[in-house]
Amino acid sequence: MPAHEPSPVVRRAEGGLYSRNPRRATRPPMPDSRQSDEALLHRVESGERDAFALLVDRYQRRAFAVALRLLGRRQDAEDAVQQAFLRLYEARAAYDSRWRLSTWFYRILINACVDELRRRRPQVPLEEWDDATDDSPQRSVETAERDRVLQGALSTVPVEARIVLTLYYGDGRSYREIGVIRGISVNTVKTHLRRGRLALRKALRVQGVEGS
């Protein structure tokens, strides 16, 4: 996509921008990319499309990585991320400044993923978890078999435990951050982590593999 063109998320959201009086609408100055998330959101509330585009640019890669770990399919992950940004835009006036914007956005993103997870039983093609994964013909049969076994085991982990595992191990979130994102206590976060690890190990043992 050319750099001067807004992303599909921005194009869909901008239907609500500059719409009150299009004849008088003027394009505001480009926001400073060094501005805080909260300052950018304030500018979005004022009708600045470019500010929203900067927020999308800041978060879309990490958001996609989290969604892909949870949903397992690229198309589903892309849809969830787009839905999360649209929900962020639509709920911008409800933002509570006591929260970090990143935490609020992750809560929206995870909820979008949960909606999809509850709609269908997830399949987890592990080769898509990391863009750096080697998909070359030299990839060993042993590695492919290991991924197949682990894929099946991960699909048995309960949804909430899988979310917590992804945020903790995949995105490096702290217990406290995960608790805020999911609206649960730190102790509950730890409980989900423990249950998730146990569920994964049990599923691996059933398939004749000893989990670490």
> pLDDT digit of tens for each residue in the chain (212 aa)?
444 455 556 555 555 443 334 344 444 455 555 788 888 888 888 777 788 888 899 999 999 989 988 887 889 999 999 999 999 999 888 888 788 888 999 999 999 998 887 776 544 444 444 443 445 555 566 666 776 676 667 778 888 998 998 898 878 889 999 999 999 999 999 999 999 999 988 888 887 776 55
Locate 39 and state its tokens. Answer: 């300052």
> Which class does domain 8-13+34-125 fall in?
mainly alpha
Residue 165: the pLDDT is: 83
**Whole-angstrom distance, CA of residue 142 vs CA of residue 155:** 20
The answer to whether the beta carbons of residues 190 and 153 sit under 8 Å apart is no
**Whole-angstrom distance, CA of residue 125 vs CA of residue 97:** 38
Q: What is the CA radius of gyration of the chain?
A: 20
Residue 126: the pLDDT is: 43
184 CB-contact burial (10 Å; exposed 0-12 / middle 13-18 / buried 19+):
middle
Report how far apart, in Å, the C-alpha atoms of 156 and of each of 75, 162, 197, 207 are. 21, 9, 11, 12
Q: E strands along 113-207, which residues?
A: none
Which residues, at least 6 apart from 9, have a Cβ–Cβ distance to it below 8 Å? 56, 60, 81, 82, 85, 86
The answer to whether the beta carbons of residues 90 and 52 sit under 8 Å apart is no
Residue 107: the pLDDT is: 93
Chain mean position to CA 155: 18
Domain ranges in the chain are: 8-13+34-125, 139-212
Residue 187: the pLDDT is: 97
Question: Do 8-13+34-125 and 139-212 come out as alike in CATH topology?
Answer: no
- pTM of model > 0.85: no
Residue 127: the pLDDT is: 45
Provide CATH code, domain 139-212. 1.10.10.10
**Whole-angstrom distance, CA of residue 188 vs CA of residue 59:** 27
